[in-house]
Chain A
Amino acid sequence: MRRKTPYPYWFVAPAAIIFTVLFTIPTVTSLYFALTRWDLFSQTFIGFDNFVQFFREPGLTRGLINTVIFAGLTSGLKTVLGLLLAVLLTAGIFAQGFLRAVVFFPVLVSTIGVGLTFTELMHPTDGAINMGLSFFGIDGPGWLTNPDLALISVALVDVWRGVGLATLIYIAGLASISPEYYEAARMDGATRLQQYWRVTVPLVRPATTTVILLSLIGGMRLFDLIWAMTRGGPGFSSDVLASVIYKQYQAGFYGLSTAGNVILFILIGVLVMPLVYWLNRREVDL
């Protein structure tokens, strides 16, 4: 049974109006404009043509696949590296507070700044990375100019930028595990590795859920880093949904880019909702 709200209607009215004007109306109209050919001056209703176009044009489908690859890769790496770093940084090592700050620092830097900096570092001939590699006699690849590598390079930079947040969440998660579990495990003769797999990993599951969801959603809607580093290039090889949508918008295909946003909305929903359900159920099982 629903509890009756303690607030009178006039009290919630301002928030309701803002919500309607800024969120409900644009969402509903965008569903309509996704079904039109729209040039801002006029629109023609064309049914699902925009969606068909999205799944037929190679440049656009490539963006869809890249989005899933990018989100999966960054989310996975942030989860694994985040937990390992958190374990290291709660182990009472030297200069722990300082090192925690160092890991978290990239989160505070502007994404565009990070992107432009790494674009210079990853320059195929004059970049610091390849110059460093050539010192050891290794011929570094074109990190951002090799079509097979560009998306992965951007993903690695995104992991560098975002792993600090995952670590922070894990540190909080580790702090909430009672030391008695480790004590009991040691009494039973568990090794460090067994303690890690049998105690730490299962008990930080709430933190894991948060990290996976945040980084997966963040990865799927990522735009600024891709735009600063490759603009989806070379060619279309590192295009993701968000950069594809922006390019359609820039080109004046307003209906098509709205349809792209609806697809992104549905994609995030389809991937994330079952994941939330699954992760939460596992939590209850414990």
Chain B
Amino acid sequence: MKTKLITSPALAAVLALSGGAAWAQDLTILSDSSPDTVATLQALGDAYSEMNPDVSFSIETRPGGGEGDNVVKTRLATGEMADIFQYNSGSLLQNLRPSRTLAPMTDLPAMDNLLEGFKTAVSGPEGEIYGVPIEAAMGGGIFYHIPTYEELGLEVPLTWDQFMENNRIIAEQTDKAPIIQTYRETWTSQLLVLADYFNVQVDNPDFAQNYTAGEAKYAETPEALRSFGRLQEAAESGYFNEDFGAASYADGLAMLASGEGVHYPMLTFAIGALSQDHPEELSDIGFFAQPGDDPEQNGLTVWMPSALYVPADTDNLEVAKDFMNFVATPEGCRIIFETVGASGPAVVEGCELPDDVPPSVSDMQKYFDEEGRTAPALEYVSPVKGPSLEQITVAVGSGINTAEEGASLYDQDAAKQARQLGLEGW
């Protein structure tokens, strides 16, 4: 600890002075295979190489999802990781055992630019910060088809009951599907449960803490069980698109863009895919937070961006840290927005959204502009997230299990994860 206090300001000074020092080095970056992520990393690397002509970058890709998790874990465990890699923040990061496998970035000068909520999501249990963001923050909520709302004279709902009332009107007066669900890609089924977390923490502010400690359970906490209950209620209402069990994520976006479906519970990163596949209809699509019981307490559940990390055993630690520092500056953030567009507010201070954003982004921005109308999703405030949630939410959404059964299955799943992480109290 002593030595760290001495080295970190020294290192910061070295980094600051050596802006264009002669490092003839090639840095490898491991990225997920999404075109947006690769383009972002390419642009950041190019900009950095321009300032430091001796540093070049090679980007390699890995699959996303669970398969990608395994690639990252295996390569970290065997010491084969690239110099820098891109990965989720929050509970998934905790599974990498960051304090053992990653190089701390706490002393980077640009760390002061980052929002606290993001820093928490990329910190290890002992408080060191490990990552810098490479996307905007995202919201989890409900996309809606604006022309249908205007046609039927509907208003953006502030409570769950108003939301279900809107669904009823849509079902009665049109042949559109009020709620789009797409269980071909099971991860899309989790949104109604996960995006309800703002409402959980409004009514039960200590839930995350007690949940991590193993004292609060989904099945036994009424505010948390209610999230599963809303999925069950939506499923039983018959408001889903007819082929919800077989439709894919891309089908869901197409239904939303054409107005065949009116509500799509989803993360706002879908704005990227919408602007690529349905650019004409982007101005028809709005966004609101998943409503709860109290119209006065309406707010958005926020997902933190994925981040870049440096493995502890890299040979190029100095130059990798300098690059990480660059990514965390407002300039790095601007490069990201210029490359893939803005799908939400940045977590880097001093990096503003461009003026011409689609309505869904400005709808989301409203929640960030007001105090107390956003809360991070549970996976950013607790390291415990069960890996089978997506199968369980498909089961509840398909009417195989009730909300109570689903919640208690999820509690067992989360317990497995907590024991794997070695947490106390499970």
Contact = CB atoms under 8 A, between A and B. Distances in A.
Interface of A: 37, 39-41, 44, 53, 57-59, 123-126, 142, 144-147, 231-237, 247, 249-253, 256
B116 to A, nearest CB: 28
A41 B387 contact: no
A126 B420 contact: no
A253 B420 contact: yes
Contacts of B243: 123-126, 145
Contacts of A249: 70
A131 B242 CA distance: 15
Contact of B391 (A37, A125, A142, A236): A236
B25 interface: no
Contacts of B398: 145, 147, 234-235
Nearest to B96: A41
Contacts of A247: 66, 387-388
Contact of A231 (B73, B100, B186): B186
A145 B401 contact: no
Given A235-B398, A252-B95, A142 B246 contact: yes
B409 A59 contact: yes
21 contacts: A59-B391, A124-B242, A124-B246, A125-B246, A126-B243, A142-B245, A145-B398, A147-B398, A231-B186, A233-B183, A233-B391, A235-B395, A235-B398, A235-B401, A237-B395, A237-B400, A247-B387, A250-B65, A251-B387, A252-B69, A252-B73
Contacts of B422: 44
Given A125-B242, A145-B246, A234-B183, A40 B391 contact: no
Contacts of B186: 231, 233
Interface in B197-233: none
Given A234-B395, A250-B70, A37 B419 contact: yes
B394 A251 contact: no
Interface in B168-196: 183, 186
Contacts of B300: none
Contacts of B67: 250
Nearest to A38: B420
A232 B391 contact: yes
B284 to A, nearest CB: 24
Interface string B230-249: 00000000000011011000
Nearest to B183: A234
Contact of A37 (B69, B101, B420): B420
B66 A235 contact: no
B12 interface: no
B111 interface: no
B113 interface: no
Nearest to A58: B409
Contacts of A41: 76-77, 97, 100-101
Given A39-B97, A41-B77, A53-B416, A251 B400 contact: no
Given A231-B186, A235-B398, A59 B245 contact: no
Interface in B260-293: none
A233 B73 contact: no
